[in-house]
Every structure is written in structure tokens, then in C-alpha cells.
Amino acid sequence: MPDYSNPKLLVERGSLSEGQVTWRSPSNIALIKYWGKYGRQLPQNPSISLTLDQAYTETTIAYRPKTGTGQDIELAFFFADKPNDAFAAKVKAYLERQVDVFPFLRQLTLTIRSHNSFPHSAGIASSASSMSALALCLCDLERQFFGNLEDDSAFRQKASYLARLGSGSACRSVYPVTAVWGETVEIDGTSNEYAVPVGDQLHEDFRTFHDDILIVSNREKSVSSRAGHQLMDGNPYANPRYQQARQQLHRLWNAMKEGDLATFGQITEQEAMTLHALMMASHPPFILMEPNTLEIIRRVQAWRTDTGQPLYFTLDAGPNIHLLYPHAIADEVQDFTADSLQPFCENDQIIRDQVGQGPSKR
């Protein structure tokens, strides 16, 4: 278990001038879902995701030495160029929790600017991209001030750990292509504390996979994922679910290494349905799918049966559909989605994305 607290990370008075760091970090879509946690944001089962490309957050931390002697984190936060008090309060609380890891945060006055590539109202969970971008910026500050974390894998591991403390799924966004979070005997070096990259073991078909995000509704969710995770504690299906996730990971991971699209699709869809079934079996139960979610699922399944093409879907904790398919059938799928699925999307909104190369420093 890594212990990143380090009281030595304080900058010498007078040695610090002002500066800034910027990171762009993508969202990710889980195939085996993380749903249920314990302790300090630790997962009840391992999860695996594809890292996206076009759906990202870009965050800049600008800093200058603090003039006063106050111990508070001094922070101004701008989202999409506008001051945002709600986000500022959340980020400040997060940074307060990390002062054991980065004590230098108390010595700075920070201005954080963040924006998403996708419309804020698209109903896409932005916590994975935003928390990973923030964590990468923080690790970069440590690297700048102290010359630590020069080794890229140490840098990413720490960023993944810190992203996890902001939002569990964010820890997987730190890596290109595919990441696994949570201990599993399947893959060496896995941990509940941070994600690990596994993209280099993947069959090439998956490295260029597409994910078209069909925006069924951009309304705020009626139940947050934080509340949803908590409800797993009283869910009678929780333990069988955690066991099932391990078995599914085993089968899915083999399929992803071998390029077995049919098994990939079958497990991925079952995971999406299981996630929503768990919500419906919670106490109190809740439904995040919308009528158009089901309509689109039915149409995808029918198109697959008719054409025999490997088009699959998954869902995250909301009504929107992620359509997953190999690059070889992109033209056909995009014609089908434009004709038959787009009318079921709010404001005709589709975000066409694909597997990406992970975060980048700007």
C-alpha cells in the first residue's frame, strides 16, 4: 500500500516564483463496472475500461507564493472561463484532504481553470476526466518544485492514486488505451489503490475501437453515483455481484487479448444491464435509464441480428448509451446511428469518440 504522505514537500521561502501547469485528460468508459466501494474509495471488485480521446477535461493550475501566513488553501476556480463557487468548494475540500501528500499547497495562492471538450449539459460524467487532470497537475507541481517523479510510471501511479481519491473511476483515465483498477490475480501489479495500464497486451482491434456516446438525456441524474455506490452496502445481490465481476473480468480480459469480439460484446452488454439491475434492486430502488435508452438498445440488438456486425453497447450510471465497435465497420455504424438512433437523442446529440492515448501535458 503506497504511503504518499511526505512532510518534506515544502518549498524554501523566497525560492518560489509564479508559474503554471496544464494537463488534458480524457474520460474513460468502464467495461467491467466499478459499483460498490469500501474504506477510503476502494473498489469492491476490479474494473477495466477503455480510455477515450475526444471527451476530455483540460485543467491549468497557476500558482504564486502566498503573501499571508494563513494555513488555508487559497484558491480561485474558473470553469469554462467563469468563476464557479460550487466547483471551487469541491476542489478546495479535495485539496485540503491532500495536504499530507502535498504540504506545499498551503504555501501557494492557486488559480485553477478547467474546461471540458464536451458540453457541460451533455449528461456525461466529467468526474473521471476532471479529477485525473487535476491529479496530473498536482503531481507535475511536485516534479517542478522538487525534481521528484521523473520516472513516468512513478508519476502516473501517484497521479492515478490521487485521482482515485477524487473519483474512483478517474484513476483509470491516467493511462492510454485500457486500464485495470482493483486487485485481480488475472493481471500482475494490480491494486485497489491505483489503476495500471494494460493496453500493450490488447488485441489490435481494440486499440482503435470506437465509442459513440448517444446523449439520451442531459438532465442531472436523480441519484448521484456516490449515493449509488453507498446503496450497494444494503443490496442483497452485492456479494454475488462482486464475485460475478471477477469472473467476467477473467473472460473479458481473455477475449480482449485474443480479439474475440463476440465474447467481448456479450460480457460488456451484460455488465451494463447488471449495473442497472443493481440500481433497480437497491433499497430504495432507482432507475436511471429513460424510455429512449431502451428503444436504442432494442434497435442496436436488432441491427446486430440483421447485419451480423459486431456493434455493442454499454451504459454508465445514467441514461446515455455508449456504442462500441471496431474501426472496420465505422462507416456502416455511423450511417445506422444517424438514420435510426439519432432521433432518440436529446437535441440529436452524439459524441463520436474512440480509444485514445491518454492524458497529455499542454
Lookup: cell for 42: 476502494
Residue 225 or 349 with smaller CB distance to ligand PMV: 225
Residue 58 or 271 with smaller CB distance to ligand PMV: 271
Positive or negative, the CA dihedral 303, 305, 308, 312 is positive
Q: CA torsion angle for 135, 184, 207, 163 (degrees, to 10)?
A: -10
Positions that interact with ligand PMV (CB under 6 A): 30, 33-35, 47, 125, 127, 167-169, 225, 229, 275, 316-317
Residue 107 or 127 with smaller CB distance to ligand PMV: 127
Residue 256 or 317 with smaller CB distance to ligand PMV: 317
Residue 225 or 235 with smaller CB distance to ligand PMV: 225
Closest contact distance (angstroms) between CB of 33 and ligand PMV is 4
Closest contact distance (angstroms) between CB of 163 and ligand PMV is 10
Closest contact distance (angstroms) between CB of 352 and ligand PMV is 20
Closest contact distance (angstroms) between CB of 226 and ligand PMV is 6
Q: How far is CA 325 from CA 136, 202, 306, in A?
A: 30, 15, 16
Closest contact distance (angstroms) between CB of 30 and ligand PMV is 3
How many CB atoms are located within 10 Å of the residue 91 CB? 23
End-to-end CA distance of the chain: 31
Closest contact distance (angstroms) between CB of 182 and ligand PMV is 10
Residue 110 or 279 with smaller CB distance to ligand PMV: 279
| Residue 184 near residue 48, CB atoms below 8 Å | no
Closest contact distance (angstroms) between CB of 118 and ligand PMV is 16
| Residue 70 near residue 105, CB atoms below 8 Å | no
- The beta strand positions in 117-251, using DSSP E, are 178-181, 195-197, 210-214
Q: From the centroid of its chain, how far is CA 194?
A: 12
How many CB atoms are located within 10 Å of the residue 7 CB? 8
Closest contact distance (angstroms) between CB of 114 and ligand PMV is 17
Lookup: cell for 275: 449495473
Residue 105 or 162 with smaller CB distance to ligand PMV: 162
Query: Which amino acid makes up residue 64?
Result: R
Lookup: cell for 85: 463557487
Lookup: cell for 212: 459513440
Closest contact distance (angstroms) between CB of 341 and ligand PMV is 21
The 3-state secondary structure of 24-70, one letter per residue: EEEEEEEEECCCCEECCCEECCCEEEEEEEEEEEEEEEEEEECCCCC
Residue 37 or 156 with smaller CB distance to ligand PMV: 37
Residue 167 or 337 with smaller CB distance to ligand PMV: 167
Lookup: cell for 83: 468563476
| Residue 340 near residue 309, CB atoms below 8 Å | no
Q: From the centroid of its chain, how far is CA 268?
A: 17
